[in-house]
């Protein structure tokens, strides 16, 4: 869900419309995958409204779930040949590594950036480039802590290969973590994804790796905070 800037000269809303616009821009919308986690405790709070502990527990659970599944608007950069972060989180690795074997990209190490998502981060994933989906492959595995280097190979993951209009191939890999037990990927082979477009989600602590073609200039450092769809990770050759 990427948001375009409001064009200059657009009339500003007033009255109730202005208040509604402020609420909409301040409170992030909910990703549809969060509805099964928000609606049941909210219903319990309504049904048990005469019992304070039921009402408070239900509202607290619904609020926590809504916060986890928040889906904020983002504005991708319009610079050519850039790769944006596919996720919010901390840059855990900036190195060279062999892409996932299931994508058949060869066994030569290529530039890689790993983003670690804590349970407090936004957990939707966004397309790092505008391009065509060439492959989407799910691979079962372990559930090691996502901040470990070996998690890239050992953990359950979903790998997606994208090709830009200029022919560059970028792989983005959703990796389950210690608490994560569900990877959602809505992208399918043949889809054309705009840069910054939401394509998936990982529940409860995870990691996202991005693999770039050789010759790419990486533009982030380990320990840096990344904002999905907005932070530029790299400049393509």
Catalytic residue among 65, 127, 152, 206: 206
- The beta-carbon contacts of 13-19 under 8 Å, at least 24 apart in sequence, are none
Whole-angstrom distance, CA of residue 142 vs CA of residue 151: 8
Residue 175 pairs in a beta bridge with 157, 207
Mapped onto helix, strand or coil, the DSSP state of residue 128 is coil
Nearest to 91 by CA among 227, 231, 221, 234: 221
- Within 5-121, where are the H helices? 15-26, 35-47, 52-68
Active site residue 206: yes
Between helix 52-68 and helix 35-47 the angle, nearest 10°, is 160
How many CB atoms are closer than 10 A to CB 222?
12
DSSP state of 6: P
Which string of DSSP letters, residue by residue, matches 24-46? HHHSPPBPGGGHHHHHHHHHHHH
Residues in the chain: 237
Residue 49 makes CB contacts below 8 A (sequence gap 6+) with 55
Residues serving a catalytic function are 206
């Amino acid at each position: 869900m990427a948001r375009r800037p409001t064009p200059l000269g657009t009339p500003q809303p007033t009255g109730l419309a202005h208040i509604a616009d402020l609420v909409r821009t301040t409170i992030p919308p909910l990703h549809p995958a969060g509805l099964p986690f928000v609606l049941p405790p909210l219903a319990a709070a309504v049904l048990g409204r005469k019992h304070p502990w039921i009402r408070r527990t239900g509202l607290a659970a619904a609020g926590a779930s809504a916060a986890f599944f928040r889906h904020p608007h983002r504005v991708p950069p319009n610079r050519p040949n850039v790769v944006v972060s596919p996720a919010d989180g901390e840059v855990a690795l900036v190195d060279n590594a062999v892409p996932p074997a299931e994508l058949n990209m060869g066994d030569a190490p290529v530039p890689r950036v790993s983003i670690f998502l804590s349970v407090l981060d936004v957990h939707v994933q966004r397309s790092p480039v505008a391009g065509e989906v060439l492959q989407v492959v799910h691979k079962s595995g372990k559930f090691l802590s996502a901040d470990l280097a070996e998690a890239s190979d050992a953990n359950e993951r979903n790998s997606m290969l994208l090709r830009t209009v200029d022919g560059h191939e970028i792989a983005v890999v959703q990796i389950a973590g210690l608490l994560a037990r569900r990877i959602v990927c809505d992208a399918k082979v043949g889809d054309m994804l705009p840069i910054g477009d939401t394509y998936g989600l990982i529940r409860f602590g995870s990691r996202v790796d991005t693999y770039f073609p050789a010759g790419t200039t990486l533009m982030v450092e380990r320990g840096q905070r990344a904002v999905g769809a907005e932070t530029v990770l790299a400049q393509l050759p």
